[in-house]
Copies of this chain bind each other. A is one copy, B any other.
């Protein structure tokens, strides 16, 4: 088809922002896109057409089912159902998982989770890439990036995993370099991105979950041990100057608490993690099974048990104090909790909100909304967000070359 195809090279500067709006579901129609971008209809039209030509979105000339408003109905903008994907992976204590994720945080295909994790990061990363390549072959999708979430701080700009690793990798493991090299060896010509799992979970919640629309989003979560935090500022992850920010586990919350390896005592890490909950409830951590799972089950199945209730209240109080401290420093406009903290919030939302309001300096004037996380596999989706970022920043150069049409 020698379809002449009008110039239509317009709208490069607004291309990224436009894609981001569709990606986060903030621009369901072309007229909304026009308003959100603050451009003219002509430009928005050109941008939408360009994104469609790139195979990223689909512009439906409105098949039917309008909610009924005045004037001509606007064209619906949807993510291309067969668009490109990124390879995303999540490594945690129990093992790892690889998947293909499309725009909008949609998990397109998942490889069976691996339930063990090698002490050699290269081995794990190679397995992740191998699984990803398998999925790409099966689905025939085009891969435009890759990201991995790891259970440790990731130093910037080196991309290495730092010491308090929650798995048995060596400190300083060059995760990003290994990932990029493994991808290249598998024929995927994109840099691999790596990030801390809680940071990436927060990013995912901000784009597609309970954090949508927040300007300054604070996320706090427990893994199996310890407490982690993350902050999304104006849509971007705040990882500090070297990737080590939001290490919230060592805020002092209980002056009478027990000692922590950090040299202080009564740290949030010690007082408000799953192990602390089990201890407070008079249970012993089982020899197998993680404290997190054990604690969540206990909280779910025995909410009526007075010792469990008391333990929950105690943890809520420590958590609330920690959150109040963070609110004093960061002044976020929303807090999202995950892991055991999510369950604690569900168990007694009022108590937690009351503690935070009472103990933060400005809590009484305007309380910060505290919400439970809403995504499954948030770290995985967050790893995908990391990989999508170059495309969201500049679709044309990120996707380069060949375009559909």
Tell whether A329 pairs with B329 under 8 Å between CB atoms, given A255-B266, A263-B358.
Answer: yes
Q: Is residue A366 within 8 Å, beta carbon to beta carbon, of the partner chain?
A: yes
Binds B, one of A58-66, A79-87, A233-241: A233-241
Smallest CB gap from A252: residue in B: B252
Q: Are B248 and A162 in contact, with the CB atoms below 8 A?
A: no
Task: State which of B242, B246, B251, B362 has its C-beta within 8 Å of the C-beta of A366.
Answer: B242
Q: Are B265 and A330 in contact, with the CB atoms below 8 A?
A: no
Tell whether A164 pairs with B361 under 8 Å between CB atoms, given A252-B252, A328-B247, A329-B246.
Answer: yes
Task: State which of B153, B244, B250 has its C-beta within 8 Å of the C-beta of A325.
Answer: B250
Smallest CB gap from A255: residue in B: B255
Q: Are A242 and B361 in contact, with the CB atoms below 8 A?
A: no
Q: Is residue A145 within 8 Å, beta carbon to beta carbon, of the partner chain?
A: no
* B residues in contact with A266, CB < 8 Å: 255
Q: Are A241 and B332 in contact, with the CB atoms below 8 A?
A: yes
Please measure, in the bound complex, the distance between the C-alpha atom of A264 and the C-alpha atom of B265, giving whole angstroms.
15
Tell whether A241 pairs with B215 under 8 Å between CB atoms, given A250-B328, A262-B359.
Answer: yes
Please measure, in the bound complex, the distance between the C-alpha atom of A365 and the C-alpha atom of B330, giving whole angstroms.
25
Please measure, in the bound complex, the distance between the C-alpha atom of A265 and the C-alpha atom of B245, giving whole angstroms.
25
Interface hits, A217-237 → B, CB 8 Å: 229, 233
Q: Is residue A216 within 8 Å, beta carbon to beta carbon, of the partner chain?
A: yes
Q: Are A361 and B240 in contact, with the CB atoms below 8 A?
A: no
Q: Is residue A111 within 8 Å, beta carbon to beta carbon, of the partner chain?
A: no
* B residues in contact with A244, CB < 8 Å: 331, 361-362
Smallest CB gap from A241: residue in B: B333
* B residues in contact with A359, CB < 8 Å: 262-264
Q: Are B358 and A247 in contact, with the CB atoms below 8 A?
A: no
Interface centre among A164, A244, A332 (most CB of B within 10 A): A244
A-B contact pairs, 7 of them (CB 8 A): A240-B330, A240-B331, A242-B333, A244-B362, A245-B329, A247-B361, A264-B359
Given contacts A153-B362, A233-B233, A255-B255, 4 further A-B contacts (CB under 8 A): A162-B365, A216-B241, A242-B331, A242-B333
